[in-house]
């Protein structure tokens, strides 16, 4: 294996950014908001509705797992912002074409993914969190909403001199 292909193969691990406290709190607040949105429809869903929601949820896990493998193995050089815009498309597709059950499952999938991202302090793409947890490798994709917040928080920490102390403590 050449040095270039080795470097390309490990991009998912080397580019991973940790989120700080503000990013994590905002992610958890978003989880609470999203779960509050689907709580009432979930409580009123029939057994058939629950099955359909579960089926759509598992479909999203399968789609994003396949996407994770494709990105990790074949297109790891994909721009992190273009990749994140492409990565959100399956959830949007299921939310818009799956009726109420599709919308509920897409929102629930994103909420569960955001919870995982917040707990793991990952600064990456929220919809790739479940596959990342399954495969143990993180993709290099950015989070459309929270990566700019993480970047701004990191810059503020650098300006006030807290960043170096945190990095030394983590090492």
In a domain? residue 4:
no
In a domain? residue 3:
no
Q: What pLDDT is recorded for position 166?
A: 52
The 10s digit of each residue's pLDDT in 53-89 is: 999 999 999 999 998 888 888 777 788 888 888 888 9
Q: How far apart are CA 9 and CA 12, in angstroms?
A: 7
Q: How many domains does the chain have?
A: 1
Q: How far apart are the first and last CA of the chain?
A: 29
In a domain? residue 6:
no
pTM: 0.78
In a domain? residue 126:
yes
In a domain? residue 28:
yes
pLDDT at residue 30 is higher than 50: yes
In a domain? residue 103:
yes
In a domain? residue 94:
yes
Q: Which long-range CB contacts under 8 A does 30-34 form with residues at least 24 apart?
A: 30/111, 30/114, 31/111, 31/114, 31/115, 31/118, 34/107, 34/108, 34/110, 34/111, 34/114
- Domain limits at 37? 11-170
């Amino acid at each position: 294996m050449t040095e270039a292909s080795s470097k390309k193969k490990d991009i998912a691990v080397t580019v991973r950014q940790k989120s700080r406290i503000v990013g994590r709190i905002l992610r958890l607040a978003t989880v609470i908001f999203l779960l509050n949105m689907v709580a009432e429809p979930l409580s009123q869903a029939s057994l058939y509705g629950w099955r359909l929601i579960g089926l759509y949820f598992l479909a999203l896990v399968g789609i994003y797992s396949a996407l994770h493998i494709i990105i990790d193995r074949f297109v790891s050089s994909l721009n992190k912002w273009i990749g994140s815009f492409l990565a959100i498309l399956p959830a949007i597709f299921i939310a818009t074409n799956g009726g109420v059950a599709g919308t509920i499952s897409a929102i629930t999938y994103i909420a569960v993914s955001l919870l995982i991202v917040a707990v793991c302090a990952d600064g990456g793409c929220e919809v790739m969190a479940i596959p990342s947890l399954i495969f143990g490798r993180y993709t290099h994709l950015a989070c459309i909403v929270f990566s700019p917040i993480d970047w701004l928080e990191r810059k503020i920490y650098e300006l006030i001199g807290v960043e170096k102390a945190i990095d030394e403590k983590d090492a």
